[in-house]
Amino acid sequence: ERPVKLGPVLGDSIQVLAGLKPGERVVTAGSFFLRAEAGRSRSGG
């Protein structure tokens, strides 16, 4: 996780002004499950 600077809402999208590099992916839904799976991977599960 890291901070990003958001810009205006454009329909169903939000512009990211800073904090990402071109081509990087962003999780906008299901991050709870992503964190849980990451924790399992680190603990050997």
pLDDT (tens digit, 0 to 9) for every residue of the chain, 45 residues total? 789 999 999 898 889 999 999 999 887 776 667 667 666 766 555
Place of tokens 């964190």: 35
Which of 6-35 are b and which e, b meaning 16 or more Cβ less than 10 Å from the residue's Cβ? eeeeeeeeeeeeeeeeeeeeeeeeeeeeee
Query: Which pair of tokens denotes residue 16?
Result: 């990211």
Residue 23 domain-assigned? no
Domain assignment of residue 38, given as a range:
1-18+28-44
For the chain, how many structural domains are there in total?
A: 1
- Residue 4 in domain: yes
Quote the pLDDT of residue 5.
94
Do residues 17 and 7 lie in contact, with contact meaning Cβ atoms separated by under 8 Å? Answer: yes
